[in-house]
Amino acid sequence: MERLSGMDASFVYLETPTLHMHVSMLGIYDTTTVPGGYRFDLLKDTISERLHLVPPFTQRLVEVPFKLHHPVWVNDPHFDIDYHVRRIAVPAPGGRRELGDLVGQLTSVPLDRTRPLWEAWVIEGLKHDRVAFLIKIHHACIDGASGAELMTELYDVEPEGREIAPPDPDDQEQIPTDAELVGYALVSKARNAWRLPGLLGKTVESATNVYRRRRDPAAKVGATPLTAPRTSFNGAITAHRKAAFARIPLDETKEVKDIFGVKVNDVVLAVTAGALRAYLERREELPPEPLLAVVPISVRAEDERGQQNNRVSAMFTSLATDIDDPVERLRAIAESTEGAKEEHNAAGARMLTDWTEYAPRRVFGVAVRAYSSMHLANRHRPIHNLVISNVPGPPFPLYFAGAELVAAYPMGPIMEGAGLNATVLSYRHHVDFGFLADRELVPDVWDLAEGVAPAFEQLREAAKNLG
Amino acid sequence: MERLSGMDASFVYLETPTLHMHVSMLGIYDTTTVPGGYRFDLLKDTISERLHLVPPFTQRLVEVPFKLHHPVWVNDPHFDIDYHVRRIAVPAPGGRRELGDLVGQLTSVPLDRTRPLWEAWVIEGLKHDRVAFLIKIHHACIDGASGAELMTELYDVEPEGREIAPPDPDDQEQIPTDAELVGYALVSKARNAWRLPGLLGKTVESATNVYRRRRDPAAKVGATPLTAPRTSFNGAITAHRKAAFARIPLDETKEVKDIFGVKVNDVVLAVTAGALRAYLERREELPPEPLLAVVPISVRAEDERGQQNNRVSAMFTSLATDIDDPVERLRAIAESTEGAKEEHNAAGARMLTDWTEYAPRRVFGVAVRAYSSMHLANRHRPIHNLVISNVPGPPFPLYFAGAELVAAYPMGPIMEGAGLNATVLSYRHHVDFGFLADRELVPDVWDLAEGVAPAFEQLREAAKNLG
């Protein structure tokens, strides 16, 4: 039995019929490397033998009686691998568009709360002997950084695989009784109450810090929430998603970063900003104010590695889409992210995570559901325009059931009011962009994704002229 | 604007996260008859040009303010054909099993209440140039008989199709205002109240009729609800489904019917009963008492044809699974259905439909949800073991977008407590059986479906020896 952290639990409470809180990863595999050839059962068996390495795969949520506390994770005695690992195919010709359509449909369906909160879809019928593997996992059990760690548990670094030690037979746990759950919740509540006065003090201090910095004209500042311009992809979301993908080369991304003296993350943001600017210009709706992105950042301490829960915070960053010149835009973004990070540190990086421990569970759920059902998102200025999440992945090739992973597109959830999420992962020689969008607000998400490569090309050309 | 009947509305209120109230139809098509060859867009365009012939395709539910009345149907101004008609594929080798798995997954997802309540999935990747077409429609807009009528609107009797008159431009309707909805609801309520005393009198009379018949030893009686034996497929259902299919020849079914002097419906019930008996025997769990089926019957009057809503009632019928001899079993079933029909007529065929006009909307919803969430279905004797629904279809070939319909498997919803539904349709030279089952309660639904042909063979052999 393991208690959900406040942040993990908030991702459960946040969920509504239109707001799905699963994160997804679409891996594209080359099956020609599979010893003996590809079979669906190979993939299912590979997951089966590694289930015990990834606790969320076999644990399900159990509510504490009277909702005294956040739910807890317990081992699911009815666990059924055939439920979680499914087989499907794309229609001919099995290209990117057909795959995107299918992934959009599969990610539109929420996970079943009565089961371990994941589904894996093996997608056949792709061109060139490729097979895709879509994993949906609830955000309550995973964040970007722990997701990347999970990859290392599931994958091999050689097509031949590796020896997996069987699960410890003593590690069996029963569903706790109601009395056990109540006792656990009360002890946990008491322990948390003890820490509350300290957190209150810290919060006052951090608010003062941020206020003082903003009054200092020399300080670099981030973007201000609720100042985002309205775009066609900001509005009330539906339950339905569209997906699209793009990729740029990693080595050249690093060259651009070095030449302009910025971070890889800034280049990723600038490329996304360039694609967004071109998309909005084509639609003749580029707002005069810069778009504002929320960028999740990991606040995972070194000693928390290996824990598969959420240690994330977020910073508000300008995408400088009001600037025409791609290099100036990149520099403006780098300045904004630096300011956002400094403010974030001033506020105390763990503040958001710490507070979610205390927010009453109904506060999340009721507020979000009311917000959603009243379509409030259509009525005020957007808090942010989109979420852009950038996670570093491994630079070496990974194999699953002997098949080589050739591309890995992550997709984060979209939030009420902002129907677009760009999640980005570097893997081997590429930076892979996964776009997940509301079906109604961004029906042409492929048009946006197709803008990634040209936006990067602009920066690379500018860097070449300078370098 | 059109008010839902009480029975239509009850199918909305009945729905829970585990109990989906859509009915489905899986058509298998031969694409070699398509002039110019098959393309996905041909199917979508064919539906598009016929939308106005099927009002539920473009109408969505709108709630009346303060829930003064059942919801109403109004034309959806945001109707989007690309949302409703989707394209997908089965994995290789594209046989019945792969198709069944996919159909089970697609029917496990509820329809979006904010849209017209249907989805159509074009399923590619099947063997022998076949394409399947799965339509899911909410039971609130369709019953078995109106579903069969809908087929005639959508389909053609020749591969070349026919001229479809465009929709009447005056037939556009706006979403009604709240004031209009309230006014409509109040008038409608007043009109219904007027009819209530008469219905009360009729009900007392019909209860007396049934009671009197049951005391008469000479009267044929149906099966009694709540006397069904418990089987492994009776219990609390989940959200997840499995689908399986079977077919028997229609001409020989009619020969069997003639030789034993029973109805086609009795032969269908006896074949299903034979398959169920074999299935339960193999699992060593055949109960000593006979299984009890609910058989929906149409109470549609001649002047109600062409209305696409529900006019159904139900009778309780013994499946005589305690009898080993297939012919004796058929005769026992025929006797039970005759008794059930006589009782049904004594009770007044339209009684159930009429009463649903008066049941307060919350009575359905709250009771069903409480029943479902407390898993009450696991605690008492089952009301019935399964639903078997038999609908006559056309004896001539149908075409859709030029493709010949070669088989048509209907699938009705499963109810809390009984995780199995058999829906049967006669089309051309065959009787097609669609089984929809709870994924947990009937994981091996194909074992059951494979028993249909041998069960029919037994009856055919017996008839041959007699005939």
List, for residues A380-438, the tens digit of each pLDDT value.
Answer: 667 789 999 988 888 889 999 999 999 999 999 998 889 999 999 999 999 999 999 99
Residue A195 covered by a domain: no
Q: Is residue A13 a part of any domain in this protein?
A: no
Per the CB < 8 Å rule, is B91 touching A240? no
- Residue A388 CB coordination number (10 Å): 25
Please, which pLDDT band fits residue B15 given cuts at 50, 70 and 90? confident
Based on the fold, state whether residues B41 and B176 are members of the same structural domain.
Answer: yes
Query: Which residue of B90, B239, B439 is in closest CB contact with A89?
Result: B90
Would the pLDDT of B355 be above 50? no
Q: How high is the pLDDT of residue B299?
A: 60
Highest mean pLDDT among A282-296, B221-235, B344-358: A282-296
Give residue A202's pLDDT.
58
Nearest to A112 among B40, B102, B239 (CB): B239
B173 within 8 A of B417, measured Cβ to Cβ: no
Q: Are residues B82 and B231 in the same domain?
A: no
What is the pLDDT, as a whole number, of residue A339?
81
Contacts of B88 in chain A (CB under 8 A): 88-91, 102, 105
Average pLDDT, chain B: 83
pLDDT at residue B225 tops 70: no
Closest chain B CA to residue A109? B109
A197 confidence band (pLDDT: 50, 70, 90):
low
Number of A/B CB contacts below 8 angstroms equals 55
Q: Cβ contact (<8 Å) for B89 and A86?
A: no
Find the CB nearest A90 among B89, B101, B105: B89
The pLDDT tens digits for A6-36 are: 777 778 888 888 999 999 999 999 999 998 9
Give me the mean pLDDT over the A210-238 stretch: 76
Residue B298 has pLDDT above 70, yes or no: no
In 3D, which of A336, A257, A253 has the Cα closest to residue A290? Answer: A336
Task: Tell me: cis bond preceding B93? Omega within 30 of 0 counts.
Answer: yes
**pLDDT of A228 strictly over 50:** yes
State the pLDDT at residue A351.
Answer: 47
* Catalytic one of B69, B84, B139, B430: B139
Query: Which residues of B lie closer than 8 Å to A, measured between beta carbons?
Result: 40, 83, 86-92, 98, 101-102, 105, 109, 112, 114, 124-125, 238-240, 439
Selected for mutation to probe chain A from B90, B122, B444 (highest A CB count within 10 Å) is B90
Q: Determine the pLDDT at residue A379.
A: 60
Q: Which residue has the higher pLDDT, B377 or B411?
A: B411
Nearest to B105 among A86, A90, A92 (CB): A86
Rounded to whole angstroms, how far apart are CA atoms A303 and B174? 60
Q: Give the 3-state secondary structure of residue A233.
A: coil
Residue B63 confidence (pLDDT): 79
Tokens of B3: 């008010």
| Annotated catalytic residue within A138, A139, A384, A430 | A139
Distance CA A417, CA B66 (A): 27
Q: Is A139 part of the annotated catalytic residue set? A: yes
Which strand (E) or helix (H) includes residue A197? helix A178-215
Same domain, yes or no: B325 and B438: yes
Number of domains in chain B: 2
Q: Is residue A348 part of a domain?
A: yes
Q: Are residues B63 and B147 in the same domain?
A: yes
A143 by Cβ neighbours in 10 Å (0-12 / 13-18 / 19+) ranks as buried
Residue A355 lies in a domain: yes
**CATH number of the domain encompassing residue B443:** 3.30.559.30
pLDDT in tens, B102-154: 999 999 999 999 999 999 999 999 999 899 999 999 988 876 666 767 777 78
Query: What would the two tokens of residue A408 be?
Result: 């890995």
Q: Rounded to the nearest 10 degrees, how much is the dihedral formed by the CA atoms of A153, A157, A163, A169?
A: 0
- Domain shared by B122 and B269, yes or no: no
> Nearest C-alpha of chain A: how many angstroms from B372?
14
Distance CA A279, CA B20 (A): 40
Q: What is the percentage of chain B residues whose pLDDT exceeds 70?
A: 75
Among A159-173, A268-282, B268-282, the range scoring the smallest mean pLDDT is A159-173
B360 pLDDT above the threshold of 50 = no
- What SS3 class is residue B45? helix
Residues B281 and B222 in one domain: yes
Q: How far apart are CA A313 and CA A315, in angstroms?
A: 7
pLDDT per residue over A36-61, tens digit each? 999 999 999 999 999 988 888 999 98
A302/B39: higher pLDDT: B39
Contact yes or no for B105 and A87 at CB 8 A: no
CA A288 – CA A274 distance, rounded (Å): 15
The answer on B245 and B139 residing in a single domain is no
Same domain, B179 and B278: no
Closest by alpha carbon to A245, among A110, A461, A403, A430? A430
Contacts of B102 in chain A (CB under 8 A): 88
Of all residues in chain B, what percent carry a pLDDT higher than 90? 52
Contacts of A134 in chain B (CB under 8 A): none
Q: Is residue A166 a part of any domain in this protein?
A: no
Q: What is the pLDDT of residues A138-189, one digit of tens each?
A: 988 876 666 767 777 788 888 888 888 888 776 666 667 777 776 666 666 5
Q: Are residues B176 and B266 in the same domain?
A: no
pLDDT at A362 over 50: no
Structure tokens belonging to residue A43:
């993939």
pLDDT score at B103: 98
Residue A54 confidence (pLDDT): 86
Question: What is the number of residues in chain A?
Answer: 467
Query: Which of A290-304, A306-320, B117-131, B361-375 has the largest mean confidence?
Result: B117-131
The mean pLDDT of A308-322, rounded to a whole number, is 76
- What pLDDT is attached to residue A94? 96
- Name the minimum distance, in Å, from the CA of A91 to any CA of chain B: 5
Which residues share a beta bridge with B119? B136
Do residue B114 and residue A86 have CB atoms under 8 angstroms apart? no
- Which residue shows structure tokens 């569970």? A361
| A46 in any annotated domain | no
β-bridge pairing B130-138 and B241-249: unpaired
Of B199, B175, B194, B182, the C-alpha closest to B61 is B175
Q: What gap in Å lies between CA B149 and CA B143, rounded to an integer?
A: 10
Query: Which chain B residues are closer than 8 Å to A441 by Cβ?
Result: none
The pLDDT score that the predictor gives to residue A376 is 54
* DSSP character string of A439-462: TTT-TTHHHHHTTHHHHHHHHHHH
Let me know: does A53 contact A149? Beta carbons within 8 Å.
no
Token pair of B219 as six digits: 């009267």
Check B88 against A87: CB less than 8 A apart: no
pLDDT digits (tens, 9 = 90+) for B370-401: 455 555 556 666 778 999 998 888 888 999 99
More confident residue, A295 or B107: B107
Phi first, then psi: what are they for A148, rounded to 5°? -65, -35
Residue B105 with chain A: CB contacts under 8 Å: 86, 88
In this complex, do A88 and B91 lie within 8 Å of one another by their Cβ atoms? Answer: yes
Q: What CA–CA distance (Å, rounded) separates B16 from B9?
A: 14
**Structural domain of A458:** 221-389+429-466
CB atoms B83 and A114 under 8 Å: no
Q: Do residue B291 and residue B439 come from a single domain? A: yes
Task: Look at B105 and A91 and tell me if their CB atoms are within 8 Å.
Answer: no
Statement: residue B314 has pLDDT above 90: no
CA-to-CA distance for B428 and B249, rounded, in angstroms? 9
Q: How far is it, in rounded angstroms, from Cα A121 to Cα A88?
A: 7
Q: Which residues pair with B24 in a beta bridge?
A: B136, B411
CA B217/CA B467 separation, integer angstroms: 33
Q: B240 vs A124: CB contact, 8 Å cut-off?
A: no
User: Which of chain A's residues have a Cβ under 8 Å away from the Cβ of B240?
Assistant: 83, 112
The mean per-residue pLDDT over the stretch B63-87 comes to 85
Residue found by looking up tokens 């069969």 in the block:
B148
Helix B178-215, helix B326-347: angle, nearest 10: 120
- pLDDT at position A144, please? 60
Are B129 and B266 in a shared domain? no
Q: Both ends of chain B: CA-CA distance in Å?
A: 56
Q: Residue A466: which residues within 8 A CB-CB, separation 6 or more?
A: A259, A260
Residue among A87, A101, A109 whose CB faces B109 most closely: A109
Using the predicted structure, report yes or no on whether residue B241 has a pLDDT greater than 80.
Answer: yes
In a domain, A326, yes or no: yes
Q: Are residues B177 and B243 in the same domain?
A: no
pLDDT tens-digit series, residues B19-55: 999 999 999 999 999 989 999 999 999 999 999 888 8
pLDDT tens string B159-218: 888 888 888 776 666 667 777 776 666 666 555 555 555 555 555 555 556 556 666 666
- Residue A378 in domain: yes
Rounded to a whole number of angstroms, the distance from the CA of A100 to the nearest CA of chain B is: 12
